[in-house]
Amino acid sequence: MPSRDNIHVIVARYLRDNAYNSTLEAFKEELGLEDDMIPIPSDHSMTLESIIEQKRLYDLAMGIQELDIKADTQNQWVVPSPTFKSVLPDQLSNILFVSVANLSMPTSIDDPSAGTSVRPCILVTEADRSLRIFDFYTFDPLKVYTHLHSSPILTLEVLDENTIMTGGMDGRLVVSKPATGEITAEQKDHFKYLVKIAISKDQKYVATVGYDKKVHVYTIERSETEPPKFNKIGSLSFPTNPEAAAFTYQDGDDEIPKLVISRRDSTFLYYYKLQPNLIEFARHNLNPESNSWVSFCAMDIALDPTEQKYLGVATSSIPHMRFMMLESGNDAILKNSFTRAPQDAYSTSRITWRPEGSGIWCNGDDGLIRGVEVSTGAVVAELKHHQGKVKAIYAGKVDGKEVVVTGGFDKTVAVWEVEKR
């Protein structure tokens, strides 16, 4: 049976929904379509109207970009940016998540009694449920853990050099030590995939996002002698799966952050206060024109790394991802640009800010990593290596130098740097 987004199905739905019955019968006979092959469209199905509207918005965005590029000469894409590529030599499976962090790891791989040292490491999670840790400079494999979760790990956050948190398809939130793999704490509040872990900048609050249509929010108690302890503030339930979450600070309140959440089949961002309990206090529409033919959601939300007040948003728009930027807590959309990154209804859109905030990197189903200049919304850089979908992307600094790490369904991990190794 053809997919919902098959062009013949889209045309047939259009003919049926507009009562062009004789034309529809001729079309079905010509192509051999049956009635059960022409389903009722869901909210995220493509239609002829949505395709035309997306094309109109794309042309409009391209025109605005050209004007912006001519008018804006400040705050442009900082150069040099990472362009030199190295590839991890190990044989891997499909890559689900990548990150880079300073971790306390054994100084000798072969000697269990050896001491530890803090060094930059690459963390990789794979479809075989493993977490692999590599030395950033030598690419030596330091540790491989397969016991942390009973199914693949979808998301990971580093609390400090001795503590990492992982979330998996088993719905568990697991805290472990990277040097030994010892599990020190865990929560099992989701009964389906745990797809996102969000941590406040002061590391006092954690939110977990699950495909059981739930978001759970906790405070973390940590000490030098005791394992981390999670205290649940509350839980949120949604009519569709939540996709992304981030902690933000507004109105000069640096004590208690706010939580912003997106969900499937909704163009809104939902804002919640954390104390004394979870209360929604605002929702902002990413599609203020409320055009019924445009249906998307925010698939990823990232707070800017410098001023900590701008939200970068990657949308589920088909056939190309859109990048939006807005000030947290404000309805005004500051940037709305097409990234040209192809995707479909099953893609996982991801963005990550450059460390100095001049741009973002985004993934795509064609294997390219695209760099978007925030001041103009224009695509100004491309990193070419992967064959097929790029699932994971990280950007940050190692010893003061900018790096990008990417992983895909071609079972490779690429490391991009500003200087050749």
Instruction: Provide mean pLDDT across the span 4-32.
Output: 77
What residue segments make up the domains of the chain, in order of their start?
Answer: 7-71, 84-417
3 pLDDT band, cuts 50/70/90, is: low
Instruction: Provide mean pLDDT across the span 78-96.
Output: 94
Closest CA to 250 of 327, 335, 357: 327
**What span, in angstroms and rounded, lies between the C-alpha atoms of 315 and 305?**
20
Q: What is the pTM of this model?
A: 0.82
- Cβ 358 vs Cβ 77: under 8 Å: yes
The answer, yes or no, to whether residue 41 has pLDDT greater than 80, is: no
Residue 75: what pLDDT? 58
Residue 71: what pLDDT? 43
In a 3-state reduction of DSSP, which class is residue 113?
A: coil
The answer, yes or no, to whether residue 7 has pLDDT greater than 60, is: yes
Instruction: Provide mean pLDDT across the span 143-169.
Output: 96
Residue 350: what pLDDT? 96
183 pLDDT band, cuts 50/70/90, is: very high
- Cβ 409 vs Cβ 73: under 8 Å: no
Closest CA to 361 of 374, 375, 351, 347: 351
Residue 115: what pLDDT? 82
Residue with the bigger pLDDT between 368 and 42: it is: 368
77 pLDDT band, cuts 50/70/90, is: very high
Residue with the bigger pLDDT between 358 and 292: it is: 358
Q: What are 298's two structure tokens?
A: 């925010």
Residue 226: what pLDDT? 84
Find the range with the poorest average confidence among 46-60, 229-243, 359-373: 46-60
The answer, yes or no, to whether residue 303 has pLDDT greater than 70, is: yes
Residue with the bigger pLDDT between 58 and 320: it is: 320
The answer, yes or no, to whether residue 370 has pLDDT greater than 90, is: yes
In the chain, what percentage of residues exceed pLDDT 90? 65
Residue 67: what pLDDT? 44
- Cβ 262 vs Cβ 279: under 8 Å: no
Using CB atoms within 10 A of its CB, is residue 330 exposed (0-12), middle (13-18) or buried (19+)? middle
Instruction: Provide mean pLDDT across the span 35-40.
Output: 72
Instruction: Provide mean pLDDT across the span 220-229.
Output: 86
Instruction: Provide mean pLDDT across the span 62-76.
Output: 51
Upper half-sphere CA count for residue 157 (Cβ side, 13 Å): 19
CATH architecture for residues 84-417: 7 Propeller (2.130)
**CB neighbourhood size of 151 (10 A):** 13
Residue 50: what pLDDT? 62
Residue 60: what pLDDT? 54
- For residue range 101-146, list pLDDT tens digits in order: 999 999 877 666 678 899 999 999 999 999 999 999 999 999 999 9
Find the range with the poorest average confidence among 153-162, 165-174, 284-293, 321-330: 284-293
Instruction: Provide mean pLDDT across the span 150-173.
Output: 96
Q: Which residue has the tokens 């094309």?
A: 55
69 pLDDT band, cuts 50/70/90, is: very low
66 pLDDT band, cuts 50/70/90, is: very low
54 pLDDT band, cuts 50/70/90, is: low
Residue 26: what pLDDT? 83
Rounded to the nearest integer, the mean pLDDT of the chain is 87
Instruction: Provide mean pLDDT across the span 218-229.
Output: 87
224 pLDDT band, cuts 50/70/90, is: confident
- Cβ 391 vs Cβ 363: under 8 Å: yes
Residue 278: what pLDDT? 93
Residue 61: what pLDDT? 54
- For residue range 305-350, list pLDDT tens digits in order: 988 889 999 999 988 999 999 988 787 889 999 999 999 888 999 9
73 pLDDT band, cuts 50/70/90, is: very low
The strand ranges marked E within 94-187 are 95-106, 116-126, 131-135, 141-145, 153-160, 163-168, 173-176, 183-187
